[in-house]
Amino acid sequence: MNLESNPAPVGSVSLLKLKPKKLIMCFVWLCSILSITPNNVAAQSILPTSKDGAIAPDDWLIGKGRAWFYHGEPAASTSVIGSRAPTAEEKKVVDKAKELFANRPAKVIALIDGRDVVYKDFKAPANDDSYLFSFSMGKTITSMAVGKAICAGKLQLTTRADEFIPELKGKALGVATVRDLLRMASGTTGGDSDATMFTPAQNKLWTEGKLNLLDTIAEDRLSAAKKGVFSAYAPGEQFWYKSTDPVTLGIMINRATGTTFAKWTTENVLQQAGISSPVIIGEDKHGQAQADGNYRMVMDDWIRFAIWVKDSSMEEGCFGDYVREATKTQIKNVQKNAGKFFDGYAYLLWTDTQYAPNTYWAVGYGGQRIGWSLANKRLLVVFSNSENWISELYELQRAWANAENGKKDTPQMFK
């Protein structure tokens, strides 16, 4: 996907021939179009695409990333994952999952009930030892890391970015609070339409280990206020999906905790989830993480993380309260610059999809998904080479959640 620097024509009507009232109406209409056009016309997508949209080829999806990335230790005590055969009612859903897995570009899939894996499968070259790349699904790990920092007294939802990042003073991004950033509502311009924030030149520097993420988010093209029709957007006013907000949260955690985001997240989130293998977290050579989604774990550890999030949402205390807030709609997805299947956004999680009511989702580019049910402990974890089948996956989670006690809420695919 490329963003052209030359503006596209917006119509053939001659403004000079319009009466004053119509001229004003035309001007407002034109401003509306411009207000939803990405401000960063110099950027272009650095993520793989095809004629069908977003893709995640195997060489992106499977692997250990750059040599300088952070490698976090597994938990001292590994969380136990069970397995069992499906019940008669569950078997209908599992059979549909097997059919989808065989005929869609899914690479890895798992259906989980509580702590038991009821169905799991891989396609080569993926296997149990493969490191699977989160893409933006990792934003949910970032959200949990923020929650842990809040409960440790390091941050508050009302903490402004410039309180810990003085480099952002005087910039719109600096005024955004933790809550604004968690809801993708910093009010800033963002980056490309697929939410990446690097220019092609910066992406080259990133691959060479020469990019500083703090310098990047401080650039005016990312830290300036996004323009509306008549005025700039204020923090908290509008949802606009972008990488800038979670990356800013990552740097805030660096400063607030006195350690790197990657180390904090490994020790306070992933080790707490009981991961069995090292985690790999993408960061620059200054210890500043790509907290917008650069995590790599083996499949069973992605399952462990998914189970831990659900278990945490049922606990008493500060962190349980945070996760319950983090998994319910906090802001409406009106502009739909991303997440076309979702009407709501929580704290770096997606909510309100008609395809799977009463669920919340970690969503990654190219078809990476974790789906949780609000009604029970039924989960779905999928890694995929493409997301051109994703509505079927949402319906699968709906059916899986409703397989408990034979509930009757039949998705279209089962009719």
Each residue's pLDDT tens digit, 134-168: 999 999 999 999 999 999 999 999 999 999 999 99
Q: Which of 365, 42, 348 is nearest to 186 (CA)?
A: 348
Q: What are the residue ranges in the chain where pLDDT is below 50?
A: 1-18, 23-24, 26-45
Give the side-chain half-sphere CA count within 13 A for 174.
14
Separation CA 384–CA 378 (nearest Å): 20
Q: Let me know: does 329 contact 239? Beta carbons within 8 Å.
A: no
**Whole-angstrom distance, CA of residue 292 vs CA of residue 348:** 9
Torsion region of 131: left, alpha or beta (phi above 0 gives left; psi -120 to 50 gives alpha): beta
DSSP 240-261: ---SHHHHHHHHHHHHHHTS-H
Predicted confidence (pLDDT) per residue in 319-340, tens digit = 999 999 999 999 999 989 899 9
Q: How many CB atoms lie within 10 A of CB 11?
A: 10
Q: Which one-letter DSSP state was computed for residue 343?
A: S
> At the fourth CATH level, which superfamily is domain 49-414?
DD-peptidase/beta-lactamase superfamily (3.40.710.10)
Provide the token pair at 283. 């960061």
Question: How high is the pLDDT of residue 34?
Answer: 37
The pLDDT of residue 231? 78
Other CB atoms within 10 Å distance of the CB of residue 124: 8
pLDDT at residue 410, rounded to an integer? 57
pLDDT, position 230 = 78
Give residue 51's pLDDT. 87
Residues 34 and 385: their CA atoms lie apart, in Å, by 33
pLDDT for the residue numbered 262? 98
DSSP secondary structure letter of residue 268: I
